[in-house]
Structure 1
Amino acid sequence: MAKERSEHGGRKDRDNREERDSEFIDKLVHINRVAKVVKGGKRFGFAALVVVGDQKGRVGFGHGKAREVPEAVRKATESAKRGLIRVPLREGRTLHHDIDGRWGAGKVTLRTAPPGTGIIAGGPMRAVFESVGMQDVVAKSKGSSNPYNMVRATFDALKKQTSPRAVASRRGKKVADVLGRRGGSAVAE
């Protein structure tokens, strides 16, 4: 009897995990192949960089290494799901304000954009924006084009993003007071 319960509980837990995982989309940003020369020839290893998001403001990235590509991607995806961040979006489609991010030699500039602009960004940054659910953003990468540094610099910028509601609560004011002339009637997320 106890065995049946544990099996059922395990199955239920696994189903919940699969359901939770299904809400996320994962994008493979980069795969790096390295070779180790050994007596019999070469041994190949793979490193994968993956971005995971729910397209509703949560996003994360991860790095995984293994002898085969699928295993490296699986490890990277698990790592990405452990380190999710929440990004406040204006109207669920763009940033609240322009921001710069930096990681090592990778520098990025992210700018808000009017509706219909789309995602104007290079490869690794585009994967992050699509995963987070942004529809309108203009981004420029300056400095390193290394995908790891670009993704980390983009995350650095997104972590600095604040919503008018958060600023208003921190200052003890109303959202309309914080927004001022720009559009006090617009309710911010």
Structure 2
Amino acid sequence: MEGFDTRLIDMNRTCKVTKGGQVVKYTAMVACGNYNGVIGFAKAKGPAVPVALQKKSFTISLPICSLAMFDVQLHRCICGSWHYNRHEGWRNKKSILHLAGLMNVKSKVIGSRNPHNTVKAVFKALNAIETPRDVQEKFGRTVVEKYLL
């Protein structure tokens, strides 16, 4: 995808033993972003590492997330969970949020640190971001800082 930078999040190797020998497959999880609030991720499988990395570019357009940011900041604290994993941060979250254009974010993971569940929890949390305009419509009150709207 043009204008998007990609980062490898996780690479897994699985080996299936059959009567004729072993079948090795690789799984790649990749995140992409344009450093301006648009990010996505994809997971692809292949018989070799380069094949798995090539396949991810076809599936990366599906879960694209667009963030509402003001001056490279989030408006409020967010928390997301996926299965038994609560996302409040993670070591690879820095690369995901950097691809979105967010530089000064602190976070923590409570529970399992499985990369697949953690990436899904990050995207679930980012999709739950409310802008000041959303909060204004939700509660029926005006926001004092008009420059946020």
Q: TM-score, normalised by structure 1?
A: 0.71
Percent identical residues: 29
Cα deviation 1:47-96 (Å, max 9, x = unaligned) = 111111111101111110110111212222322222211011121x2211
Which residue number corresponds to residue 7 of structure 1?
Answer: none
Match of 2:37 in 1: 57
Structure 2 residue corresponding to 1:47, chosen from 18, 22, 27:
27
Q: CA RMSD in A?
A: 1.9
Name the CA shift for 1:141/1:161 in 2 (closer, same or farther; >3 Å).
same
- Equivalent residue number for residue 141 of structure 1: 109
Give 1:117's aligned residue: none
**Residues 1-189 of structure 1 aligned to structure 2 (within 5 Å):** 21-91=1-71, 93-109=72-88, 122-168=90-136, 177-178=142-143, 180=144, 184=145, 187-188=147-148
- Runs of 4 or more above 4 Å deviation: 169-173
d(CA) in 1 for partners of 2:55, 2:140: 43
Aligned length: 149
Whether the 8 Å contact between 1:51 and 1:77 is mirrored in structure 2 is no
Residue 87 of structure 2 aligns with an amino acid whose one-letter code is V
One-letter amino acid of the counterpart of residue 164, structure 1: P
Larger radius of gyration: 1
Shift of 1:122: 3.0
Q: Contact 1:58–1:86 at 8 Å: present in 2 too? A: yes
Alpha-carbon distance between aligned partners in 2 of 1:48 and 1:97, rounded to the nearest angstrom: 32
How far is the alpha carbon of 1:127 from its aligned partner? 2.2
Write the distance in 1 (CA, Å) between the matches of 2:10 and 2:113. 12
Q: Aligned equivalents of 2:43 and 2:24: distance in 1?
A: 17
Identify which range, 97-106 or 69-78, moves more after superposition: 69-78
> More relative contact order in 1 or in 2 (CA 8 Å, sep 6+)?
2
